[in-house]
Chain A
Amino acid sequence: MNVNQQTPMASPYGPPQPGYGQPSYAPLGGGYPGPYGPYNGPAAAYQPGAPPQGYSPYASFPSKAVAANPVSDLSSPLDLGPARGPLTSAPRPVSTPQAYSQYPQGDSQNGPPPMDHSMAQPAHRSPVSQPYSQGAMNLSGPHPSYSQQYGAPPPMQQVTNQMSGMQIGSGPPTSVGPGYAHHPSTQPPISAAYSSAAPPSYTQAPPLSAAPSQPPPPSEPAASQPYYGGPPPPQQQPFPSAHHPSQPFVSSSPYLGPPSQPQAPPVSQQQSFPPGPPAQQPFPNSAPPPVSQASYSGPPPLTQHSFPPSSQSGPFPPISISPSQYPGPQPQSQPGPPPFHSGPSPRGPVPPPSMSQQQANHLPPGPMQQQQPPQPGMQGGYPTQQNGAFGQPRGPQPGYAGPQYPGQQNYGAGPAPAPAPPAQKRLDPDSIPSPQASELPAVQKSRHRIDPDAIPSPIQVIEDDRVNKSSEPFTTGVKGQAPPLVTTNFQVKDQGNASPRFIRCTAYNMPCTADMAKQSQVPLAAVIKPLAMLPPDETPPYIVDHGEGGPIRCNRCKAYMCPYMQFIEGGRRFQCGFCSCVTEVPPHYFQHLDHTGKRVDCYDRPELSQGSYEFVATVDYCKNNKLPQPPSFIFFIDVSYNAVKSGMVNIVCQELKTLLDYLPRENPEADSVVRVGFVTYNKVLHFYNVKSSLAQPQMMVVSDVSDMFLPLLDGFLVGVNDSRMVIESLLDQIPEMFADTRETETVFGPVIQAGLEALKAADCAGKLFVFHSTLPIAEAPGKLKNREDKKLVGTDKEKSLFQPQSGFYSNLSKECVAQGCCVDLFLFPNQYVDVATLGVVPVSTGGSVYKYTYFQAETDRERFLNDLRRDVQKPMGFDAVMRVRTSTGIRATDFFGSFFMSNTTDVELAGLDCDKTVTVEFRHDDKLSEDTGALMQCAVLYTSCSGQRRLRVHNMAVNCCSQLADLYRNCETDTIINFFSKYAYRSILNTPTKTVRDTMVNQCAQILACYRKNCASPSSAGQLILPECMKLLPVYLNCVLKSDVLQPGADISLDDRAYLRQLLSCMDVSESHIFFYPRLLPLVKLDGGSLPMAVRNSEERLSKGGVYLLETGLHLFLWVGANAQQELLSNIFGTPTFSQIDPNMTSLPELDNPFSQRLREIIDSFRSQRSRYMKLMVVKQEDKAELIFKHFLCEDKSTSGGASYVDFLCHMHKEIRQLLS
């Protein structure tokens, strides 16, 4: 919402900030809204007057949050005046649209950076701007909605909204408003109160007003401008200072400033909006303010109306949007007018409304609190209520909301509350709510609504990043530079640091001290994908051979030669960048230095100039000091009744015949040196002798599964080409031989033991492909019992379900790792198979688990085969050991992924393929220096698929910072979420799920609170201020919390959860991103090479008349609206009738029209991007299957009780406020 962070930044965004400037909300609450409202109409000048009106407006506004905002404006007025002045001047008059446009422009120009997250981020990263922008974004979002609702009023509303936005910026203004009056008191209270008062405060308006009004104008402008400059983060602070009152708004303050000015006129609002929009970037940018607003407004209103009461979410949006919303709110001031429009009643009643509002406002004081609640709703207000209750809170909120929303929306109102805030703030929204509710039930409802468009939008962030960063190659030479998002297509140039395709860090500026790190709670981690595949236009790591002596290394810490080694004494020695130890340069490696102290051959040697490269390892790096044998692949096929019946056996055998020609190899010209072996099994194992000299394969049955051994040596592992005839004969016969089997029991432990024995006997590493169907209940080691007990779900004992049944498989995996035996498990279960236990070995050996529940040959064949093909073909290393070295001061302390560790430093991977990721957490063990930064070197020693021993080295240098702001400016939310989710998914093994969830929420709250406290410009407590880089943290975190693993629905089996849990453990950032926040594409115009822009994952975004494609990383859904155009259906399905679409189809018909072709292209390209094949499901609206589909609309409330985005945001806000108070 307010994401003040940006606010500060916002300065540029100024406008947005205001929006953000939750303050605005507050202010709104302050009742300023009322005034503003009027003001809005009046514009700037009115602000003052407005406030009162605001109040009234509030009443009315409530429904139209905007109106409220205006109030905030009230405060802002003053500020706004100033602030806006700059911005607005033109805009103001312009009215919203213009304003928007202006803002946008302005934003784009100034603001853009701030406003637009993307924009802002890049530019602002440095400072606050980002946050602001976000905030702004959000805010703006909401506004629009309002406007729409009001329809006619829209303009007004919009204006108001904008205003509010402005306010938002000024949001703080609330304080302003109050601030002016009470500012100091109010604001503080606000901040404190935010929860209660916050709303108002949020209302950027208030802040805006406040900030703007007071100092804002001056300071803000200044500040804002500076910000715009993209300059100093401090600005934020300054703002605060400037805004004093607005403090909270601080961030927004700048905005406020502008807004305020504009406020006077409606423009201001507009302006605010603009910022808002800009903040939202996309919107602003694209269809600038108007559009965005419009669109937003459109929806929002509806939602609001409808939702308001029900969904507090409504409020939230504003929150997130804070800036924008605020603007909205501010608008309130303007809205004041709008409110009227919208809530004519209010207006008419204006007085009354005002009354009511006032009451509210007054109440506000009371209400303020209430309002705050709303704000929480937004931020504080909402939070409080909502937060408290979150999902449910709404109920209360309504009540609260009523007031709150109003407040929020009204920020203006907020402002009003602002005054109250002081007192109220302390009061609790909760208490107030009821009264409010009673007071303004109907209105409340409408008010409650937070416009979802106003809260930070992942889509917008992604889009901005794409627009801004995909054009230029990303060069890795600059330390501390965050790479483009994973969703962006970009080229990487390795200039000394590892490509983000290999390593992504959560923070590219590490705090210098452990205290800082602890204070911020931002995890310091790197997500490493050592063997990642690079796109064709990037060069794979060069191979370096240092000769018989092996790679040159530091004597002490054993770090490998890398660009961070400093050559001294004319090149005779080098100093290690990690441990500072000085090591002699071996004669054969000596080279002179140039005048800068660089080796002359620096650019001839990859290890001196590149971030990633490979060494050829010598025999010293081999097991038993013996060069390794080429690896082997062994296929274990379950031939029990279920496996045969499902068609799996047949498919596998058929496929293997061709697949064996595609075994991994390094030289595409030569045959693969990988040897293969085959085993089938049910409750006994059948080994096959496929020696090339045999006319027919020979089957050797081992029934003594209690004590597994390898029955044959010669002829078990063979070269594919040598034994092709025999192998083909075997694969032909296997399905026949077991076609009539009646054996239903299977073993599992002995299967892996057999593979292990085979590899031991052949003295090589390798990979086992196990195709398994049922719970292994046959009498044998590793026998399992069915322990699926849904009653344990949700209890403290739930964790036991994720733990393996016995230690058998853990021990077995140790042996496997020691031998370099990697296990890939393909499951075809019809019922519980205890993935938690069966997955132990694959997970510990660097393998993968694939699960095809209720496998049916017809429908799942394609997915399975594609997975299998990829799994067999993909490049991988064997018998790998990974070690992460770091420079003094930090240390790799924790590792997540599919591997085994026998000590605390070495990550042992029996197999490591190109999709496997290891996440490493770092902790301080000393101080870091800003001068040298922090270095990490990840070295992976492995055996290539041709049997060569290699060492892959990735180097990464990041900056160190002594200012928290730097940390927040240079972190990557997607990576943080990747880390958090892995951490959480692992924690549920030992901790009750609920505790895990709480811990995560808490940590995130701390991160954000820390930012708020230390980096954001002061603003009303009711304002939610998010760092630009982290503005999506709440939405993503919510997705994590709602995921099936952490919050299972009734239809999610334990196996599914265990499966997903294991799956996540080795996902890279782009996979985890789409896993938690799926991509939803509207299929409209598919012409041209670019994809349509995604929409947010919410049912609201779905149009009955449209068709959408949803990609989750594991599934593809094609959602068909009930009223989809016939032409569209014809193009896609070849039938114009909705009812004739076959929901069971797994691939689209190949139709000869551009649309169909393009769609299939898109689907194919999606699939090719993922390591697992995504099966396509066609979901018809209203169909039963739609439930599954809806499950992935992660911004909505989930059926399993997961909060909607808006609700969660409010909750976060509340948590933050609690931490701050």
Chain B
Amino acid sequence: MATYQEFIQQNEDRDGVRFSWNLWPSSRLEATRLVVPVSCLFTPLKERPDLPPVQYEPVLCSRANCKAVLNPLCQVDYRAKIWACNFCFQRNPFPPSYAGISDVNQPAELMPQFSTIEYIVQRSPPNPLIFLYVVDTCLEEEDLQALKESLQMSLSLLPPNALVGLITFGRMVQVHELSCEGIAKSYVFRGTKELSSKQIQEMLGLTNPSASGPQGRPAAPQDPAVTCRFLQPVHKVDMNLTDLLGELQRDPWPVPQGKRPLRSTGIALSIAVGLLEGTFPNTGARVMMFMGGPPTQGPGMVVGDELKTPIRSWHDITKDNARHLKKATKYYDALANRAAVNGHSIDIYACALDQTGLLEMKCLSNLTGGHIAMGDSFNTSLFKQTFQRVFSKDHNGEFRMAFGGTLEVKASRELKVSGAIGPCVSLNTKGPCISENEVGVGGTTQWKICSLSPSTTLALYFEVVNQHNAPIPQGGRGAVQFVTQYQHSNTQRRIRVTTVARNWADAQSQIQHIESSFDQEASAVIMARLGVFRAESEEGPDVLRWLDRQLIRLFMFHLRRSPFLQVFNNSPDECSYYRHHFVRQDLTQSLIMIQPILYSYSFHGPPEPVLLDSGSILPDRILLMDTFFQLVIYHGETIAQWRKAGYQEQPEYENFKHLLVAPVDDAQEILQTRFPMPRYIDTEHGGSQARFLLSKVNPSQTHNNLYSWGQETGAPILTDDVSLQVFMDHLKKLAVSSAA
């Protein structure tokens, strides 16, 4: 038997699932004692190039409240053409099309290697993809120009039948009509007045009684061009739109001295949401908002237009001094929920030197599965490449994005679903396997994930409800089935079903087995998510204390110091940004975020990972640190001097040149695949940017103990934070004393 390590890896590769425990304690009591709940990280659209989708529909359990999908774990009676549901034990006849089924003639979904299987559903006509650009025009000329170019570039990346729309905003909000010849038309809204969805649709002339079906959920319009002048197929309006973007002017309203430009971001978004709501409800769509500063007027304003009033800081927030915070958050929350209900996701691309209000607006993306990208300017490769990567394609030439996903979780009787943490919203579907104990977004068995990428990962939390006195028969297995319905980027409707099972174990007798089945990495991420989730809603110190009580693990040290929980040194916007990504990335990336990776390059050998410790900072090394958000190349003091002296230019020091290039090459490799683009930093000893590195490493040497250690290894870090050593010592003490 393979090691757990291998088992875990294999499971992840095949199903995109990693459980905190791979043997489950068989009673509630025991499960509770384990501290880390039975939970998993699930990547619904894990890339499976080897998995061909099947062209038929799944077979469902006929029990009304079960509807589990036929899977390899089901018992099948080939003779009677009957299968038993492994969740509710209902016996179901196969449908007529399965008449030829036999031992040797099994449908794919019964084969063990198809524990994850994807069906293509033909039920509804394909919906086109919809991209709605919402563009801030209160930008510097240079920024605007760069943004315009990026947008025009993106048009060429869209599939020709995708629908595009354009909304621009500044002091006013303009919805551009794309279908017109000659005169460019746009509908203008003032940026200060909140309008209901109905009003917006009326004002846009979308309330055509014949257009909306009687069932309230109009089928995707047969000819979108007719029903909506604002969303048009790219191939039709390519030229128009390119011209339109080309003629886009900076917001013409004068900005008086000492004021911020008036930016009606809130209204622009509400119009975007309202527009889609009215025209393509329940259809996958992506609202892409580009903003160059904080909303300064109307509902959703984050800061006033007086420059003398700075945007809120953590300090203001803790002092309850942020005037617009609550109102704006509430406003965007409502918007996000509306968008999520309709399956539309919202991306935020915020490029400004100052904060832009991500704190208030984060839910827009968090709830709808949208992206958030943060940069200093639209005229940077950080933004340009990040944006370009949104439209990256897989090996089939299809977008790595999916829309309108619904994730349903079914579990064996002994297991109930506590909740999920990730870019999703609850669909409030009641079912038999809902735990009363809510963790994350709970109380449902279905979640809506408006936009999915192959790396989108949710953390799902379960509760073992089996009573201690009702033991599970030896060899019993608990099963969990994930049913993910989504709209593929090629407009197909698909259903991916993943069914996994784990053995039950009696904690009393098989505690060692359970221990060995523990997945430390997964648990770390899972618990971190829980921590972040709580941090969002609770006071920071409380969360830290909770975390301390819950866990004693190495990485927790870094987690405590990460921007996910620690707001010091990070603006509210940055925190939101980091957290946003943390709750959606897959396990590997999440781990990097928690505990950055540090590679050391030297003449002494090949690059090697080193401890994230101040001790690793040596003069003759080049360090490459990947924190997910930043890629830092740090040249040690000596190296830096050499480089300054230009040795790398001299042929005799070619090896030095290679040494310098090596980390850069590695960084490029990472940059190639990472989304969003990390901030790429090339610095050296004493450089101002070195702070990125210094803030991450374990301060084993500080100004306090530098001389006591006396070694000249590493660089001292000027901080009052405790070092890992101290932390561990303290933990040990705690572990012993509070063991009871």
- Chain A contact residues, CB within 8 Å of chain B: 684, 686-688, 694-704, 707, 709, 711-715, 729-730, 733, 736-737
Contact = CB atoms under 8 A, between A and B. Distances in A.
B175 to A, nearest CB: 8
Interface residues of B, number: 24
B190 A696 contact: no
A730 B172 CA distance: 23
Contacts of A698: 183-186, 247
A737 B190 contact: no
Nearest to A700: B188
Given A704-B193, A707-B193, A714-B249, A737 B183 contact: yes
Contact of B188 (A694, A702, A729, A736): A702
A711 B183 contact: no
Nearest to B195: A704
A733 B188 contact: no
A704 B190 contact: yes
B183 A702 contact: no
Nearest to A716: B252
A733 B189 CA distance: 24
A709 B171 CA distance: 11
Given A703-B202, A707-B193, A712 B184 contact: no
A709 B185 CA distance: 17
Interface string B172-212: 10100100001111111110010100010011110000000
A666 B202 CA distance: 47
B253 interface: yes
Contact of B184 (A696, A704, A711): A696
Contacts of A736: 182
Interface in B704-727: none
Contacts of A686: 185
Contact of A699 (B185, B203, B249, B253): B185
Contacts of A704: 189-190, 193, 195, 199, 203
A698 B240 CA distance: 13
Contact of A711 (B172, B182, B193): B172
A687 B188 contact: yes
Of B174, B182, B183, B187, which is in contact with the most chain A CB atoms at under 10 Å from its CB? B183
15 contacts: A684-B203, A688-B183, A700-B174, A700-B185, A701-B186, A701-B187, A703-B204, A704-B199, A704-B203, A707-B190, A712-B188, A713-B252, A714-B252, A729-B182, A736-B182
A711 B203 contact: no
Contacts of A696: 182-184
A704 B183 CA distance: 21
Contacts of B193: 704, 707
B205 A699 contact: no
B183 A699 contact: yes
A711 B195 CA distance: 17
A684 B199 CA distance: 13
- In the A-B complex, the 10 residue pairs with the smallest Cβ-Cβ separation, listed nearest first, are A703-B203, A711-B188, A714-B252, A701-B187, A699-B185, A698-B184, A709-B190, A700-B188, A713-B252, A699-B183
Contacts of A695: 247
B184 A699 contact: yes
Contact of A702 (B182, B187, B199, B254): B187
A712 B203 CA distance: 18
Nearest to A686: B185
Given A696-B183, A698-B247, 15 more contacts: A684-B203, A684-B205, A695-B247, A698-B183, A698-B184, A699-B183, A700-B185, A700-B186, A703-B203, A704-B189, A711-B172, A711-B188, A711-B190, A712-B252, A737-B182
B171 to A, nearest CB: 9
Interface in B23-62: none
A135 B190 CA distance: 71
A903 B219 CA distance: 63
Contacts of B249: 714
Nearest to B171: A713
B553 to A, nearest CB: 56
Contacts of B189: 702-704
B698 to A, nearest CB: 57
A579 B204 CA distance: 63
B188 to A, nearest CB: 3
Contacts of B199: 704
A703 B183 contact: no
Contacts of B252: 712-715
B472 to A, nearest CB: 64
A168 B177 CA distance: 84
Contact of A701 (B188, B190, B195, B247): B188
A629 to B, nearest CB: 15
A451 B318 CA distance: 101
Nearest to B185: A699
B50 to A, nearest CB: 52
Contacts of B195: 704
A701 B249 CA distance: 17
A703 B205 contact: yes
Contacts of A694: 247
A699 B190 contact: no
Given A694-B247, A704-B189, A713 B203 contact: no
B185 A733 contact: no
Interface string B662-687: 00000000000000000000000000
A697 B247 CA distance: 11
A696 B172 CA distance: 21
Contacts of A733: 182-183
A519 B594 CA distance: 103
Contacts of B254: 713
A711 B174 contact: yes
Nearest to A705: B203
A707 B191 CA distance: 12
A821 to B, nearest CB: 20
Contacts of A715: 252
A475 B202 CA distance: 66
B202 A730 contact: no
A712 B204 CA distance: 18
B144 to A, nearest CB: 15
Contacts of B183: 688, 696-699, 730, 733, 737
A49 to B, nearest CB: 95
A707 B203 CA distance: 12
